[in-house]
Amino acid sequence: QSALTQPPSASGSPGQSVTISCTGTSSDVGGYNYVSWYQQHPGKAPKLMIYEVSKRPSGVPDRFSGSKSGNTASLTVSGLQAEDEANYYCSSNAGSNNLRVFGGGTKLTVL
Amino acid sequence: DVQLAESGGGLVQPGGSLRLSCAASGFTFRGYWMNWVRQAPGKGLEWVANIKQDGNEEYYLDSVKGRFTISRDNAKSSLYLQMNSLRAEDTAVYYCARERGTKYFDLWGRGTLVTVSS
């Protein structure tokens, strides 16, 4: 049950694009299309931003997109806005035994 | 309104016990896997446990196996986490989260803080 690997920080200026990676193994990220991404502002509950690698829930701006290649998933935020500054976490199922795992989180700073 | 509301957190001594509850409303609780996820102060999210719709399957993070027990009462639309033999490293905000079929969490509560300290 090892956490997925994310960079601790990422940054970009308003209007720019930034991509956050999430690296796992063939037993989690690489083995299933079950990667999801969550945004969390300080003191708040996490909010679902992407599910099934690249799908957006209703109400999430299309500036947020997801993808996957091999054992690494990515979240791209385009047209950065001040309100995008938050912590972002990836998640996947871990193996075939119904365990779940999160990444360590990435703090996104809008410069 | 569709929502989850946790309760039961507080200060407990190392080795003590605590039972968390999560009240669901606005949706058919018995139709979903449910999860507990925790977040230690200043740290990231950590999945703790989950339970199948009918309560007949449960899975745990290795570090809590044998100490924590997840359960549910579908008649009361409630999820529980019984935490025994608590350790300082269990200090965290505990969230309950609803899970959809393809393993993502689409609904979260606001969390309840558990502090393990003497």
- Give the C-alpha separation, B47 to A51, whole Å: 17
Structure tokens at A49: 């931003």
CB-closest option in B35, B95, B109 to A100: B35
CB contact under 8 A, A45 and B45: no
CB contact under 8 A, B105 and A101: no
**Can you name the residues that pair with B69 across neighbouring β-strands?**
B82
Question: Residues B56, B57, B62, CA angle at the centre, nearest 5°?
Answer: 145
CB contact under 8 A, B45 and A38: yes
Closest-approach residue (CA) in chain A for B5: A45
CB-closest option in A1, A93, A102 to B44: A102
Q: Given a cut of 90, is residue A9 above it in pLDDT?
A: yes
Sign of CA dihedral B89, B92, B94, B100: negative
- Give the C-alpha separation, B67 to B102, whole Å: 28
CB contact under 8 A, A104 and B44: yes
Torsion of CA A42, A58, A64, A21, to 10 degrees: 70
A43 and B93 Cβ atoms separated by less than 8 Å: no
Check residue A19 and give its pLDDT: 98
Helix (H, G, I), strand (E, B) or coil at A82: helix
Closest-approach residue (CA) in chain A for B95: A45
Closest-approach residue (CA) in chain B for A8: B44
- Give the C-alpha separation, B94 to B116, whole Å: 13
Structure tokens at B55: 């309560």
Q: How confident is the model over A53-62, as pLDDT tens digits?
A: 999 999 999 9
Distance from CA of B16 to the nearest CA of A (A): 26
DSSP A5: B
- Looking at residues A14-19, what average pLDDT do you find? 97
- Give the C-alpha separation, B46 to B99, whole Å: 15
CB-closest option in A45, A104, A105 to B95: A45
Distance from CA of B106 to the nearest CA of A (A): 6
Among B85, B101, B86, B106, which Cα is nearest to B37's? B106
- Looking at residues B52-81, what average pLDDT do you find? 97
Check residue B17 and give its pLDDT: 98
Distance from CA of A84 to the nearest CA of B (A): 18
Among A28, A22, A24, which Cα is nearest to A100's? A28
**Can you name the residues that pair with A76 across neighbouring β-strands?**
A19, A65
Q: Given a cut of 90, is residue A1 above it in pLDDT?
A: no
